[in-house]
Amino acid sequence: MIKQLKRQLGHDVHPMVQFVKYGVIGGLATGISVVVTFYLGWKVLPCLTEGDWLVQKLGLAVVPPEESIRWLRAAYCSGIGFVISNVVCYILNRLFVFQPGRHHVVVEFTLFFGVSGLSWLFGTSMQSGLIKYYGMQTSGAIAINILCALFINFAMRKFVIFKG
């Protein structure tokens, strides 16, 4: 049983197992990003409103932000969450999902962050636009940001950054 588990956690597995591991690690990294982003948006750079579904679901008391800067604060919070979660994601993907070695570790890390950064910029631009121009609640806009990043990141990491 332990031998089988060690094999499944290694790099030499079926692509479906690899995708499942990627999904679990991505879920963990996304969870870290969401917790950091929402905590900062609640306590440090207020960007959550009383009408936000997460605020209502958790019964949080919020300081309503000025609507004109809510989108910018949400982007800052999302950026900090991105950096923290991306470091965790890189380490775990390198250990358990993708075969390192296509590039030197510094190049690999730079590419990993670069790809993630581009998908973050794309998703956060969409998130900010949905908040600023359409008045979307912060939680919904962040969810759309996360979905964009998922698809872009997997393809680029599998086929460009790592050996597969």
Question: In the structure, what pLDDT confidence band is assigned to residue 55 with cuts at 50, 70 and 90?
Answer: very high
Q: Does residue 30 lie within any of the structural domains? A: yes
**Is residue 47 assigned to a domain?**
yes
Domain-embedded: residue 7: no
Number of domains the chain contains: 1
Task: Decide if 1 is inside a domain.
Answer: no
The pair of structure tokens assigned to 153 is 């990141």
Mean pLDDT of the chain: 87
Query: To which residue do tokens 């790592």 refer?
Result: 162
Residue 75: inside a domain, yes or no? yes
Q: What is the pLDDT of residues 126-156, one digit of tens each?
A: 999 999 999 999 889 988 888 888 778 878 8
> Is residue 56 scored above 70 in pLDDT?
yes
Cβ contacts of 52-59, under 8 Å, gap ≥ 24: 52/137, 52/138, 52/139, 53/137, 53/139, 53/140, 54/138, 54/139
Domain membership of residue 111 (yes or no) is yes
* 2 found inside a domain: no
Q: Is residue 6 part of a domain?
A: no
Could you list the residue range(s) of the whole structural domain that residue 59 is in? Answer: 14-161
